Amino acid sequence: MILIFAFAVVATSNAVNITDGLDGLSGGLTMMAYGAFGIIAMYQGSMLLFGFCMTIIGWLLSYIWFNVPPARFMMGDTGSFALGAGLGVVAMMTNSFLLLPIICLPAVVETASSLIQLISKKLLHRKIFISAPLHHHLEALGWGEAKIVMRFWIIAGVCAILGVFIAATGGAI
């Protein structure tokens, strides 16, 4: 169990850090993930954990207010690693480790795109993406920053709702 816990924290913290590349991107994604895990915690009766998740959401709302383009504040590695590590801990505390990749699907895809790019460059000596992670690839294709962020937020919202639905129907709540 200790290895799974460590994996959840390290993987999630790195995924959120990799996703933190556009103004408001990782803040919005983690806000929706904390919302999903907060709802799961509430239905499990863990009101302290629910309160923690809602506190993080409140902080992220104020952060995003000043981080939408053009950003006045940057999260940086310290903030993104902390948000990701906290998310991994919350997933473990709600016994929702298997829902973590579903609820955090955009961050998983971002991390996978970076991993695929690294492996491709090492083994095939060529790139698959113009730039990695995926949000930078989409920028290189001509997508605007706001378009990328909003699309990722929509996907994150759907994934968060899907994760809560799975938790509710699967008996995790």
- pLDDT-derived band at 15 (thresholds 50, 70, 90) equals very high
pLDDT tens track for 68-110 = 878 888 888 999 999 999 999 999 999 999 999 999 999 999 9
Q: What percent of the chain has pLDDT over 70?
A: 98
- List CB contacts of 82: < 8 A, sequence separation 6 or more: 13
Number of independent structural domains in the chain = 1
Give the global pTM: 0.94
What the block records as the tokens of 70 is 């053009």
Check residue 171 and give its pLDDT: 67
What the block records as the tokens of 80 is 């993104």
**Full domain range(s) for residue 122:** 2-169
Query: Is the Cα dihedral 132, 84, 148, 76 positive or negative?
Result: negative
